[in-house]
Amino acid sequence: MDISKFKIVDVKARPVLVPFRIPPTTASAKIEDCALVLIDIETNEDLIGHSYLFVYSKAMLSPTVECIEGIKPLLANQIIEPLELDNYLKKKFRIHNTGGILGQVLSGLDMAFWDAFSQYLRQPLCRVLGGSIKPIPTYNSCGLFIQDPEKIGKEAINLVAEGGFQAIKARVGRPNFKDDLKTLNNIRDSIGEDISLMCDFNQSLNVNEAIYRCRSLDYEGLDWIEDPIRHDDYEGCARIASEITTPLQIGENLINTYEMQKAIDVMAADFYMPDVQRIGGVTGWLRAAAIAHVNDIDLSSHLFPEISCHLLAVTPTCHWLEYMDWANPVLENPIQVNNGFVEPPNIPGSGVSWNEKAVKKFLVT
């Protein structure tokens, strides 16, 4: 097995628009359809590395695909060594702003490189990264969006039951804070005291309003309060964290580990949840996990449970895997949740592959 002979022969990107099982409506936005870009790294060994990007809206599908097409010539005949490819692409785009589409594309390519690399080594990704297949605690994040507080209790019961979940997350940030409190109380009455409950403001508040609301939520028995204000206001987050006793969770919008370190330096939060699409793919996650380890900070994931379960399996301060089923309609083998835990699949690679019949159905042309 000579890795120097394992090379890229083609890169393909396909845009799909997949319906949500439960359309997400938050205090900041409503997303109508699940816009994904499917990435395939074809190799000279007839192995294909897979990954996908969630681009939030149909309008972002075309520019994301075009960005991948623009990078493709740089990857022709490159050896699939993920860390070397990360260094190579970082140098190529050093003077570019990698905080937007380009950064997400580089992350998506990195995920596909690692998938192909792990397949070549005939090992699950988590084992290639030095870890083992083990159960990762998982919370259900597929529902409890902004809705009538009186009707949310039944949905909460269903979300707990569908995978034996021991934790779920609710979205808050309604114009009238009393409706948020009513929502959380109705959920708690429905699921009981033994199920963990988190809440997410989706960056919908200013600092003063956030302090007021989060202080009140200190009495609700929440495992964390997530993203109350603008994601890059680290000093504002630090003010809020210092005023409340419930742990503050941020991090899904961190675009690299340098930003993560800035946030940690000002004590912006208690917990962090990087998004593998934004933090730099598998390679970026490993660096984020090292920073979290040094600072003894619990690390959870944001979206992308298929690859995040592998990454949390090698994260020393592993906390929670966020379960989202958004890509399930185009996946050949969606991950399974059993009694509130997910295990990385015991097959070579990340386990991501496509249901080609569904891809054809949802393809945007």
pLDDT by residue for the chain (365 residues), tens digit each?
788 899 999 999 999 999 999 999 999 989 988 999 999 999 999 999 999 999 999 999 999 999 999 999 999 999 999 999 999 999 999 998 888 999 999 999 999 999 999 999 999 999 999 999 999 999 999 999 999 999 999 999 999 999 999 999 999 999 999 999 999 999 999 999 999 999 999 999 999 999 999 999 999 999 999 999 999 999 999 999 999 999 999 999 999 999 999 999 999 999 999 999 999 999 999 999 999 999 999 999 999 999 999 999 999 999 999 999 999 999 999 999 999 999 999 999 999 999 999 999 999 99
pLDDT value for 355? 98
Residue pair 34/327 in contact by the 8 Å Cβ criterion: yes
Single-letter residue type at 162: E
DSSP letter assigned to residue 25: B
Taking the C-alpha atoms of residue 210 and residue 27, their distance in angstroms, rounded to an integer, is 13
Half-sphere exposure of 292 (CA within 13 A, CB side): 26
pLDDT value for 228? 98
Cα dihedral 144→150→151→152 (10° resolution): 20
Q: Where are the domains of the chain?
A: 3-124+356-362, 128-342
Tell me, which fold does domain 128-342 have in CATH? TIM Barrel (3.20.20)
Taking the C-alpha atoms of residue 262 and residue 250, their distance in angstroms, rounded to an integer, is 13
Single-letter residue type at 341: F
Nearest to 145 by CA among 322, 249, 303, 24: 24
DSSP string, 122-172: TSBHHHHTT-----EEEEE-S---S--GGGHHHHHHHHHHTTT-SEEEEE-
pLDDT value for 203? 97
CATH of domain 3-124+356-362: 3.30.390.10
